[in-house]
Structure 1
Amino acid sequence: MSGTSEKVYVEIIKKIKSIIEEDDLQAGDKLPSERELTDRLHVGRSSVREALRSLELLGLIETRRGEGTFIKPATGHRLVEVLASFILHDQKARQDLLETKSIIIRDCIELAVQRVRPEDIEYLNVLIREIERTEHDRDVQQLILRFQESVIKLCNNHLLYRLWVELSDYGLSVHQHSFLLHSGECSQLLEHLKNGDSKNVIQLMSQTM
């Protein structure tokens, strides 16, 4: 694809996104037809069709025979699977993923140590008590995952938190399982967090990669 063609293609996708926002369309709503999009965007119908096909491959829209094209719920999981399938089979890409996630964890924790509040510590204490008295492995895993997410969220930076979530989802797509702390490690991490010891918190959280 030439640079000019690629620019037009990207612009069409941006304009379709603008139409979705202008028309206040939500998940499950029907998109304008190809003909209407062609008229509104003042581009060729084949270009519109190609842009829609790409959005469908990414799992953002779906075409129903005889009904039209609809917006899918923006869960992100389909996009993660697509990216993982095409990118993370490459060993260098996997290494880049781990390196980037390590950087994100470090930055999140350094901010979290500065911004943690007494009520945050109490909430993490409550989670640890729940973990310790819960018997079923699946429930314990869910609680530990919530604990890890809560620690990262203490950075109070939504973009960094979302990056960590997305990178964790990429890793899950590749490895098919989560990397969780043990119950005792959660208690250790909380003590380090209360002491402002970002180095040891980072070391423990890095095990979840």
Structure 2
Amino acid sequence: MKSLEPIGKKEKLYVKIAQQINNAIESDMYKPGDKLPTERELASQLNVSRASIREALAVLEIMNVIDVKVGDGSYVKQRTSNFQFETKDSSVFELIEVRMYIESVIVKLAIERATEQNIKAIEATNEGLRQTIKNQERIDDFFRYGVAFHKKLAEATQNDVLIQIANSLFEQDAHPLWRHLNMKVLLSYEAREHQLHEHEGILAAIKTKDQKKAEELMKHHIEHLKNMFYE
């Protein structure tokens, strides 16, 4: 059975994994048209998490090396000897992990400090989602309104340091890997509808100053995002 060598834990996993799979394709271990092992099998071979495998496969799909078919698997499209992929300091999984904690604080402070203007600004992002949700050609706009929702929440804390931290996290949204994973998810109308519903619920809880509910909804929102990417 074809297998790959385990990845060292200190290396930048998702990029190193993508490089190794690409090398295997270059060496004819996998040829154009071949189906790659499942995510579970690759994770076992390389001794890494399925989250890292999912990110590595997304990198290769961005580079047009493979085609990831939902519910089917990953197929080799072509070889590329010039492996170059711009990386950020953190993976998508790490970004989501940090957001789980940061956005809980943001919601708490937003409930305490949001002005009427802040609430209107947050509501405007949800209105943007409503206006673009049914238009498959405006997924990019839907994505931007979704990001804006979280940035406007941070602004409602009235805490400049926290706003800067949140903005630095969401600068990662320009990362090609993060964008690629989001866009694939948002191709589904049900996924877009679910995101809007979650955003509306969070805002409603903030308006009624229901801290417990708002924090629970935000936690569920980010967990759902993680599950869509990695389950």
In the superposition, the TM-score normalised over structure 1's length comes to 0.47
Q: Name which one, 1 or 2, has greater alpha-carbon Rg.
A: 1
In the superposition, the TM-score normalised over structure 2's length comes to 0.43
